[in-house]
Amino acid sequence: MATLFTKIINREIPGDIVYEDEHVVAFRDIAPQAPVHIIIVTRSEIPGIAALPTTGDHLHLLNAAKKIAENEGLDNGYRLVINQGADGGQTFDHLHVHLLGGRQMAWPPG
C-alpha cells in the first residue's frame, strides 16, 4: 500500500509542493513547527534510515534541502531533522527530511 507521502508525490492527495526533481519531492508540512517547515521525501519508498540502500534517491535529499533553503531565503540558517523508528519520532515509514527555519532554533530539541 502506498504511503501518504507517495500519494502526495503521485498527486492522489493535495500537497503544497515547493520543489521536485527526479529523485525527491518537497512540500510544506500541514502542521508546521517553524515559520518554514518543509518535508523532503524520496520518490522511492524507503522505510527509513535503517533501511538505506547503498544507491538511490536518498543520496539527493541533502542537495535538495540546500536548494530549497536558498529558495526560501533561509540565509541565517536552518535545521534538518531525520527521525528513525518509533522512539526517534518517525510517524511515516517513508524516508524524509524535515527542513525547519525562519526563526532561532532551540537546543536541545524534543
Q: Which residues pair with 97 in a beta bridge?
A: 40
CB 100 within 8 Å of CB 78: yes
Q: Which residues pair with 79 in a beta bridge?
A: 100
3-state secondary structure of 62: helix
Hey, how many other C-beta atoms are within 10 angstroms of the C-beta on 78?
A: 20
Kindly provide the b/e burial profile for residues 4-13, where b requires at least 16 CB atoms within 10 angstroms of the residue's own CB: ebbebbeeee
Q: Respond yes or no: is residue 94 known to be catalytic.
A: no
**Considering 23, 58, 60, 96, which one is annotated as catalytic?**
96
**Which residue numbers are catalytic?**
96
